[in-house]
């Protein structure tokens, strides 16, 4: 696969992330009123789980966009630092495995709570 | 007094073993590139007075192997330049090898790549680049800028080949627009701009599925074998507003 | 010919922007904030996984984090600042890299040189981003650190 495709994916995820992450910040903040009130300063289970249930698609999009963007960034940094000539496939494999792991973990959380 | 003058003074009167490269002394050859006060510059173009210090710190160019004192190994840098095929590529090799007429190129077409043609291969941009510092396999800003110079040249028909050379894991995508290359370039080649323009060409091919254009054709001949009247291109006109700083 | 080791190369040189243009500082900060964010993201996915384990598991995780005291809020503040900067600068980089904007057109260089890629449009973008991010970061800090929900 040409390097340009992974970078196009990174750019697309970045553009999605700008909007979805802004929504996530606002949801944890001003939009929510005071989610830490009455809980001793910790985020209440009902509030956090409620968010995941009500905005499942948004958080799913956030998860996939963030992991694909972030771990591709890690791949770029690793590529520059280690600059593998013959074992580039190994680096790509490690990143893909990490992506799969975190996507699976996050997806399970969304489905289990939803 | 320039830093080069100071180095020559040191070599002549204090330490004759000091090693450094220089040639023209007027910012044309690019030989005297070195790191002066932490930034790559041409020693012949750097006035001592602008550095505002009594003790000037001069080092070899960063990210290059040191052969001796201020002399660095530029072979990897030159190899990167060579790897991008920095010459006109024509599909008709016979026409290229046995050219008997010039190619028609309009002045507005020249304007699209002339800035990048001013490169003197001094290596300052390569030394300043943070990606080169980390990744020695990265082809570097100079090579990408020169690749774009030929992509933008209407005489060139190697667009597809150049795209494939740049679209690699150590190619054009490893630039992160730090702009240090353009900051240090002594000839205002602006490699950062060329790199982003090269990236757009790569995206045009991958995303928009654009095809390569046919290259500029040789000036047509009359039946008598004489070049067609009026075929001589007009004098270059760079147009209003095309001068830097405006 | 024997290949000499490269002089002053590596991670520190790559991230050292002293003496260079403001865009090089942006590059270094973008990289550092990116690493902070990916580290936080991976931890955050483990943290939200606790939601699927039920109320008790979630509350005990939250209490464990809360027991860090002001460190938790300062850490979140740093993550918020990183996200703000990385996102805002990322928009500028997408404009530069994907659309070739803010770079200027090819010109005929005339001394004294002024590269268009580091010209007025680019500088306006960089400093606008810096200003907006600082303002939002201070606001995020007030929200997090005071716990008053300052809007």
Of A3, A8, A81, the CB nearest to B169: A3
Residue of C nearest to A50 (CA): C51
- Shortest distance, CA A94 to any CA of chain B (angstroms): 16
| Nearest CA among C97, A80, A8, C106 for reference residue B148 | C106
Chain A residues whose CB is inside 8 A of the C41 CB are 66-67, 70
- A86 to each of A71, A83, A90, C103, how far by Cα in Å? 21, 9, 9, 35
Query: Which tens digit of pLDDT belongs to each residue from B69-103?
Result: 999 999 999 999 999 999 999 888 887 777 777 78
- The more confident residue out of B232 and B218 is B218
* Chain B interface disruption, residue of A1, A5, A6, A7, most B CBs within 10 A: A7
Give B136-178 pLDDT, tens digit per residue: 999 999 999 999 999 999 999 999 999 999 999 999 999 999 9
pLDDT tens-digit readout, C26-60: 999 999 999 999 999 999 999 999 888 888 888 88
State residue A26's pLDDT score.
83
Q: Considering all CA atoms of chain B, what is the largest pairwise distance in Å, rounded to the nearest integer?
A: 72
pLDDT tens string C100-113: 999 999 999 998 99
Among B178, B195, B243, pick the best mutation site for testing chain C contact (most C Cβ within 10 A). B178
Q: Residues C90, A16, C58, CA angle at the centre, nearest 5°?
A: 105
CA distances from C75 to A49, B76, C36 (A): 23, 43, 10
Interchain pair B130, C10: CB under 8 A = no
Chain A touching partners, 3 or more CB pairs below 8 A: B, C
The DSSP-derived string for B122-138 is -SHHHHH-HHHHH-TTS
Q: CA-nearest residue of chain B to C5?
A: B65
Token pair, residue B134, equals: 């980390």
Contact (CB<8Å) C97/A11: yes
Higher pLDDT among residues B59 and A36, named by residue: B59
- CA C115, CA B91: separation in Å to the nearest integer? 34
Of B131, B190, B238, the CB nearest to C115: B190
DSSP letters for A24-93: HHHHHTGGGS-TTTTTTTS--HHHHHHHHHHTHHHHHHHHHHHHHHHHHHHHHHHHHHH--SS-HHHHHH
Q: What ipTM describes this predicted complex?
A: 0.90
pTM for the model stands at 0.90
């Amino acid at each position: 696969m040409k390097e340009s495709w992974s970078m196009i994916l990174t750019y697309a995820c970045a553009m999605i992330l700008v909007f979805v992450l802004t929504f996530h910040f606002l949801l944890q903040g001003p939009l929510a009123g005071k989610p830490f009130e009455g809980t001793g300063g910790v985020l209440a289970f009902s509030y956090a789980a409620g968010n995941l249930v009500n905005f499942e698609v948004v958080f799913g999009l956030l998860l996939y966009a963030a992991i694909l963007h972030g771990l591709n960034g890690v791949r770029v940094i690793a590529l520059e630092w280690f600059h593998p000539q013959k074992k580039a496939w190994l680096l790509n494999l490690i990143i893909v495995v990490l992506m799969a792991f975190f996507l699976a973990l996050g997806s399970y959380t969304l489905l289990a709570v939803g | 007094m320039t830093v080069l003058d100071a180095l020559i003074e040191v070599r002549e009167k204090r330490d004759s073993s000091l090693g450094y490269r220089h040639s023209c002394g007027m910012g044309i050859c690019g030989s005297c590139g070195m790191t002066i006060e932490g930034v790559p510059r041409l020693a012949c173009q750097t006035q001592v007075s602008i550095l505002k210090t009594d003790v000037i710190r001069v080092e070899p160019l960063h990210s290059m192997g040191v052969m001796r004192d201020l002399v660095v190994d530029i072979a990897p840098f030159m190899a990167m330049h060579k790897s991008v095929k920095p010459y006109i590529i024509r599909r008709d090799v016979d026409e290229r090898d046995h050219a008997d007429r010039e190619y028609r190129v309009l002045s507005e077409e020249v304007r699209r790549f002339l800035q990048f043609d001013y490169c003197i291969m001094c290596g300052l941009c390569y030394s300043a680049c943070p990606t080169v510092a980390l990744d020695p396999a990265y082809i570097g800003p100079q090579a990408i800028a020169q690749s774009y110079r030929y992509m933008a040249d209407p005489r060139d028909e190697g667009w597809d080949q150049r795209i494939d050379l740049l679209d690699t894991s150590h190619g054009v995508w490893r630039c992160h627009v730090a702009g240090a290359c353009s900051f240090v370039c002594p000839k205002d080649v602006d490699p950062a701009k060329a790199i982003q323009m090269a990236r757009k060409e790569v995206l045009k091919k991958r995303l928009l599925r654009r095809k390569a254009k046919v290259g500029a054709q040789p000036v047509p001949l009359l039946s008598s074998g004489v070049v067609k009247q009026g075929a001589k291109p007009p004098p270059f006109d760079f147009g209003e507003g095309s001068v830097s700083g405006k | 010919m024997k290949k000499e080791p490269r002089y002053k190369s590596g991670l520190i040189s790559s991230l050292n922007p002293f003496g260079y243009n403001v865009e090089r500082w942006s590059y270094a900060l973008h990289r550092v904030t990116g690493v902070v964010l990916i580290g936080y993201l991976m931890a955050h996915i483990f943290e939200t996984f606790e939601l699927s384990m039920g109320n008790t598991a979630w509350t005990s995780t939250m209490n464990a984090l809360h027991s860090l005291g002001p460190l938790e809020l300062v850490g979140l503040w740093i993550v918020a600042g990183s996200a703000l900067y990385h996102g805002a600068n990322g928009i500028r980089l997408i404009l530069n890299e994907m659309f070739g904007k803010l770079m200027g057109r090819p010109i005929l260089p005339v001394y004294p040189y002024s590269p268009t890629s580091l010209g007025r449009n680019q500088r306006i973008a960089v400093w606008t981003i810096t200003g907006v991010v600082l303002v939002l970061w201070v606001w995020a800090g007030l929200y997090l650190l005071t716990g008053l929900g300052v809007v």
